[in-house]
Amino acid sequence: MPLLTQYNEEEYEQYCLVASLDNVRNLSTVLKAIHFREHATCFATKNGIKVTVENAKCVQANAFIQADVFQEFVIQEESVTFRINLTILLDCLSIFGSSPTPGTLTALRMCYQGYGHPLMLFLEEGGVVTVCKITTQEPEETLDFDFCSTNVMNKIILQSEGLREAFSELDMTGDVLQITVSPDKPYFRLSTFGNAGNSHLDYPKDSDLVEAFHCDKTQVNRISDVKYSCKTWLQLPEGVGYDPLSGLEWTLSERDGEQEVAQWVNVVPVQA
């Protein structure tokens, strides 16, 4: 890829972060999954990049892109943090179009010089290179959800295809999605409260939708941003894990067996 051969070692030294991909759509897909607010905070370490989006300190979404996913990943500092407009970043990543031409990939190199400098994107497709500079901002403090696995009472792994069908059947005119998990019936229940009345979908623990069911105590969680949450979850790939304490988590398999992970964390009232 030409982008990987355009910089020598001296030019790299001016950047505290350099990351390259031969297919930008892999990154774009992951970031779209957490794009429910305009701005995001980016954290980079030697392990990779984490992009965090929060809403009112009650909902947090994280996308993790491991360092091994990148064809090139160089970080000069122990950690690099900045805030960026996620909407603009996604627009730049799709500057050559969102529908790929068969046999053609859009390559990406991201460069960040440090505090106060813009994030520079070099995108190449078919020999044409576009340079985008996105202003970075002072990073805001994000919530640290320190969920210890030993304290998790309930955890359910769900098939995303069945979950998509479930959400499509619910009445989305209400403001709240209620998720009930119980060691006894109804086991796993999705409920909405809309203009046409209350809707409930129940799934037994041996349902084809349920991959794994571990429940010791009944919990009822309510998510207020139901319209966006359901719209996002309708796009979930692969298996979906639902943990009533820490939220939803799913993985997206990428090239050469490596994985990029997008994780939802929801803090909601819990009723015993």
The 10s digit of each residue's pLDDT in 143-162 is 776 555 556 677 777 776 67
Which of 152, 177, 156 minimizes the C-alpha distance to 166? 177
The more confidently predicted of residues 181 and 51 is 51
Average pLDDT over residues 102-124: 90
pLDDT at 211: 80
Q: Which helix (H) or strand (E) holds 223?
A: strand 219-223
8 A C-beta contact, residue 120 and residue 177 = no
Reduced to 3 states, what is the DSSP secondary structure of residue 196? Answer: coil
User: What tens digit of pLDDT does each residue of 72-101 get?
Assistant: 999 999 999 999 999 999 999 988 876 666
pLDDT band at 219 (very low <50, low <70, confident <90, very high): confident
Phi and psi (nearest 5°) for 2?
-55, -35
The more confidently predicted of residues 80 and 197 is 80
The more confidently predicted of residues 40 and 271 is 40
